[in-house]
Amino acid sequence: MTSTITLPDHPPALKAKSDALDFFYGEFQALKSISMPVFQNKVTALIGPSGCGKSTFLRCFNRMHDLYPGHRYQGAIELLPDAVNLLDRRVDPIEVRMRISMVFQKPNPFPKSIYENVAYGLRVRGERSRSYLDDKVESALRAAALWPEVKDRLHDLAFNLSGGQQQRLCIARALATDPEIVLFDEPTSALDPIATASIEELIGQIKDQVTVLIVTHNMQQAARVSDYTAYMYLGDLIEFGETKNIFMKPQRKETEDYITGRFG
């Protein structure tokens, strides 16, 4: 007699964990004890009405707030598997930004060539080998689905690319240093629908190599691209769960009101 063995569902591995994270802009508390997991090789979307703290939370992950005096973190963001608290003053923010890179709302290529934009982080890291840089630039451009369009014009100025191409270039730049997490803050809000679709498709592809955290004010986008969704309101994390559950059967009334458009 043969028996059937059902393989257990393995829970996804943790890549990072926000643990009772508070954040203050001077006296104003923008994040209130946020605790949530970030799963490895998954896309996690942060949603919620404007001003609820999505960007503030995202920027904690690469210590962007350090650049401004009076901004203060309390609590932890642990990077797994080492369990280092990224917010610890003894952790070098430059090192954090190599391992956790960011793509912004508006494409922001440097005033350099396509090639030098992608090579930038590697040069900062001290890479000098031409062949190594060539290989990394090509693989990052391939991963960002831009290689076929630019391979014959690598030394053109990045500003000559279209908006959608510039954003894919910024994604290539963010991938070139082999980061563990890539942060996206409303990466398609300055793009047309076709460029938006290509960025969304790309996010689905790069999660094989990195973990993605994305802020979006577009709920359809969150539903399309993410595996997990966090709903925030006024600095609180209201609900976190698998995207399909957040959209189909949210546990909290506040989440349901938001996703059904009754408010926000």
Ligand X SMILES: Nc1ncnc2c1ncn2[C@@H]1O[C@H](COP(=O)(O)OP(=O)(O)O)[C@@H](O)[C@H]1O
Q: Where do contacts with ligand X occur on this chain (CB under 6 A)?
A: 25, 28, 30, 48, 50-56
Q: How far is the CB of 59 from Mg ion (least distance, A)?
A: 9
Q: Which is nearer to ligand X, 60 or 122 (CB)?
A: 60
Near Mg ion by CB under 5 A: residue from 18, 31, 46, 55: 55
Q: Which is nearer to ligand X, 31 or 158 (CB)?
A: 31
From 237, 260, 223, 258, select the one nearest 56 (Cα to Cα): 237
Residue 39: C-alpha distances to residues 17, 221, 227 (Å): 9, 19, 9
Q: How far is the CB of 238 from ligand X (least distance, A)?
A: 13
Q: Which is nearer to Mg ion, 55 or 101 (CB)?
A: 55
Strand order in the sheet with 236-242: 100-103, 181-185, 211-215, 43-47, 228-233, 236-242
Q: Which is nearer to ligand X, 6 or 50 (CB)?
A: 50
From 238, 246, 227, 229, select the one nearest 12 (Cα to Cα): 227
Q: Which pair of tokens denotes residue 52?
A: 């609820």
CA angle 91, 180, 80 (to 5 degrees): 65
Can you say how many angstroms the Cα of residue 57 is from the centroid of all Cα atoms in its chain?
A: 11
Residue 164 interacting partner from ligand X, Mg ion, none (CB closer than 5 to 8 Å by kind): none
Report the alpha-carbon distance of residue 19 to residue 244 in Å, rounded: 24
Please classify residue 84 by burial: count the beta carbons closer than 10 Å to its beta carbon, then call 0-12 exposed, 13-18 middle and 19+ buried. Answer: middle
Q: Which is nearer to ligand X, 5 or 67 (CB)?
A: 67
Residue 30 interacting partner from Mg ion, ligand X, none (CB closer than 5 to 8 Å by kind): ligand X
Which span sits near Mg ion by CB under 5 A: 49-57, 80-88, 123-131, 200-208?
A: 49-57
Per-residue binding string, Mg ion, 57-96, x by CB under 5 A, is: ----------------------------------------
Q: How far is the CB of 183 from ligand X (least distance, A)?
A: 12
Q: How far is the CB of 79 from Mg ion (least distance, A)?
A: 23
Q: What are the residues whose beta carbons fall under 8 Å from the beta carbon of 111, sequence distance 6 or more?
A: 157, 158, 159
Q: How far is the CB of 97 from Mg ion (least distance, A)?
A: 19
Q: Which is nearer to Mg ion, 55 or 229 (CB)?
A: 55
- Residues 19 and 29 sit within 8 Å (Cβ to Cβ): no
